[in-house]
Structure 1
Amino acid sequence: MKHLKISSKLLVVLAVSLSLFLSACTASEKENKRDQIRIAEVTRSIFYAPQYVAIEKGYFKQAGIDIDLKTTWGGDKTMTALLSNGADIALVGSETSIYVNSQGTNDPILNFAQLTETDGTFLVSRKSLKNFSWSQLKGKTFLGQRKGGMPQMAGEYSLKKHGIDPHKDVTLLQNIDFANIANAFASGTGDFVQLFEPQASMFEQKGIGHVVASFGKESGKLPYTSYMAKESFLKSHGDVLQRYTKALYKAQQFVESHSAEETAKLIAPYFEDTSVTLIEKVVQRYKEQHSYAKTPLLQEEAWNNLQRIMKSAKELDHPAPYKQYVNTTFAQNAIK
């Protein structure tokens, strides 16, 4: 009987110990629980450097967020992923939210954080032009971007700014897929081409072409690439998105305050086929023309410039009011 009593006491002690252990595990699990955010990025680009910095520096993890990043290669596919709940957030041109919402929806797409604030393309000439002037495009063949996309609209806006009608004064080619534009130019098609980095700098290195102008500088400040989500997601995941935007802001400040070399080394794993030296050159070029947004706050003036450019390209049928398309709450709180 004495042995039985000792065993009973031991069982009680073990039960209490087990209870405390399970409680500690539960508390630890709650403390270490992370929220997952699925991001669909429209392309993989050095243009999006702050995003990769936020991941590599652990800013999202510090905010209790795990990032599931997928490259969806194209605005249509990116928005399809968002609308079909295949992604929580889309990183894509702000104009896509206007296209989608204009079709009518009970759950509108809202822009809540800005990543880039200028166009990211450059005008590349086949010939070296020491004293370039925009008038030199007249009568030439120009490989543009997809109709209705922000690169093409910014490109057309820039040409018009310099007195060139893109549909009359140049032979405008828009029948080549985005992925094949650079190859088409390299194989001899066109006198001028509109390219993103690092392709523009690569062509310079190889002697295929020469960067003669920046469409980012010409078209001015605009919400070129932003993070957007369904209104319902913003309401149901407000706390997560606030932490997300704060982490993004930290990365934007890092890119702004650190050298192009430091940023290039951080984001190099995302561009395995590109040398760190070239990445650094591209980052520096984007920094110099202020393409990387310093904060996630999408300004109304920039939004209105976006509408002007879309209207000039005849891609905006009705006004897209800033307050109906942009939620500034998370950005404003992040930068306080």
Structure 2
Amino acid sequence: MIKVKKSACMLLSVVLLTLAAGCGSAPAVETKPSAPAPEVKKEQPLKTVKFSEVIRSIFYAPHYVAMQKGFFKEEGLVIDMNTAQGSDKGAAALIAGVADISLVGPETAIYIYNQKGDKTLKIFHQLTMKDGSFLLSRNKADAFKWSDLEGKSVIGWRPGSAPQMVLNNKLLLEKVNKVDVVTNIASPAMAGAFTSGKGDYIQVFEPIASSLEKEGKAFFVASVGQAFGAFPETSYVATSDYIKSNPEIVQKFVNAVAKGAKWLNTASQDEIAEALMPFFEGTPKDVVIQSIERYKKQDTWPAVPELTSEQFETLQKVLIDNGVLKLEQKVTDMGAIVDMSFVKNIGKVAK
């Protein structure tokens, strides 16, 4: 009897222990509150800029580099680009509102200002500081003198355009007369007209100049930009209203182009060619490289892309000398059509 009671007590003890374990009698584990999940920043959507370039030329290499190397994207912009085929058309696109920013001759801002219309244009970045055209001849010459153009014909640019006025000024300075400068051929048709037999000389930009040379259809005689000297030929321009409403976009745009220009100064020839060739389909690599070297040699792209008062004065003198601007139309208040504040803030974060 005693043995049975002992066994029953042992069995009861086992059951109680099992129940105690099942009821969670084990000591509670202290837990620390979980840290809040890191905030995930939403990627801001890219803002589209409707952009119009005057022509397609390696003269504007910093812009294409900024597109191809992703510098515009780094600034939060995407560029919707078209080619106007003329500064007058690029300016008209701004006035009509079909372009936000145009790359044109700065003289267009002066023309629009003097029209006293509802809209004015403002220059906010000076991309090039030399004329970008080169003079080529049909026949090879051992040495070239500007007087060689007397009695000859030159396929040139439309009246009132920067390359046409720079060439005309150079002829005036050299006192070269009786030169037939053909100005009624559209820029895309100029090379074709020359190769078909029209003109003794042709004034073209790169890479067309180097392409004509490589094909044996023309011979290099002079860099118009190098011969003429400093001249603010091509600028980024927008309406005053657009700049006032979108200062952060304009600053980002300027920052991106500045990155492109800086990259051009450090990259190898091969790297530069690879970045530019998508914009010049069918153009051989060696032609692209030669084009870049020619523009670098003449200091085309200024270290500081600023249109100064001295350069603005040079621009207006050329316009007056060419008869497209009357003396009384000269813009005395540069600030009315020039805003270099964005250039002075290059590298700063646009807000």
TM-score band by shorter chain is 0.7 to 0.9
In the alignment, structure 1 residue 96 sits paired with structure 2 residue 108: yes
CA contact (8 A) 2:126 2:232 kept: yes
CA contact (8 A) 1:295 1:335 kept: no
Alpha-carbon offset, residue 113 of structure 1: 0.6
In the alignment, structure 1 residue 276 sits paired with structure 2 residue 285: yes
Alpha-carbon offset, residue 76 of structure 1: 2.9
Alpha-carbon offset, residue 335 of structure 1: 6.0
Whichever residue aligns with residue 59 of structure 1, its letter is: F
Whichever residue aligns with residue 242 of structure 1, its letter is: Q
CA contact (8 A) 1:53 1:266 kept: yes
Match of 2:51 in 1: 39
Share of identical aligned residues, percent?
Answer: 37
- In the alignment, the residues of structure 2 paired with residue 57 and residue 198 of structure 1 have an alpha-carbon distance, to the nearest angstrom, of 20
Match of 1:319 in 2: 330
In the alignment, structure 1 residue 107 sits paired with structure 2 residue 119: yes
Match of 2:298 in 1: 289
Pairwise CA RMSD of aligned residues? 2.0
- In the alignment, the residues of structure 1 paired with residue 312 and residue 80 of structure 2 have an alpha-carbon distance, to the nearest angstrom, of 28
- In the alignment, the residues of structure 2 paired with residue 197 and residue 274 of structure 1 have an alpha-carbon distance, to the nearest angstrom, of 11
Identify the range of structure 1 (57-66 vs 258-267) with the bigger mean alpha-carbon deviation. 258-267
Instruction: Give the alignment partner of residue 253 of structure 1, picking from 230, 250, 262.
Output: 262
- Larger helix fraction of residues: 1
Q: 1:103 to 1:141 in 2, by over 3 A?
A: same
Q: With structure 1 as the length reference, what TM-score do the two structures score?
A: 0.87
Q: Secondary structure, in 3 states, of the residue corresponding to 2:202?
A: strand
Instruction: Give the alignment partner of residue 263 of structure 1, picking from 265, 272, 286.
Output: 272
Match of 1:74 in 2: 86
* Pairs within 5 Å for 1:175-186: 175-186=184-195
- In the alignment, the residues of structure 2 paired with residue 205 and residue 78 of structure 1 have an alpha-carbon distance, to the nearest angstrom, of 31
Instruction: Give the alignment partner of residue 229 of structure 1, picking from 233, 238, 242.
Output: 238
Q: With structure 2 as the length reference, what TM-score do the two structures score?
A: 0.83
Larger of the two Rg values belongs to structure = 2
Q: Secondary structure, in 3 states, of the residue corresponding to 1:334?
A: coil
Q: 1:303 to 1:260 in 2, by over 3 A?
A: farther
Question: Which string of whole-angstrom CA distances, capped at 9 and with x for unpartnered residues, describes residues 63-97 of structure 1?
Answer: 11122122222223222221111111011111111
Match of 2:128 in 1: 116
Instruction: Give the alignment partner of residue 163 of structure 1, picking from 154, 157, 175.
Output: 175
Whichever residue aligns with residue 295 of structure 2, its letter is: Y
Give the paired residue count. 310
Instruction: Give the alignment partner of residue 65 of structure 1, picking from 49, 65, 77.
Output: 77
Alpha-carbon offset, residue 230 of structure 1: 0.8
* Pairs within 5 Å for 1:108-147: 108-147=120-159
Where structure 2 has 5 or more consecutive residues not aligned to the other structure, the ranges are 1-35
Alpha-carbon offset, residue 45 of structure 1: 1.4
CA contact (8 A) 1:248 1:296 kept: no
Where structure 1 has 5 or more consecutive residues not aligned to the other structure, the ranges are 1-19
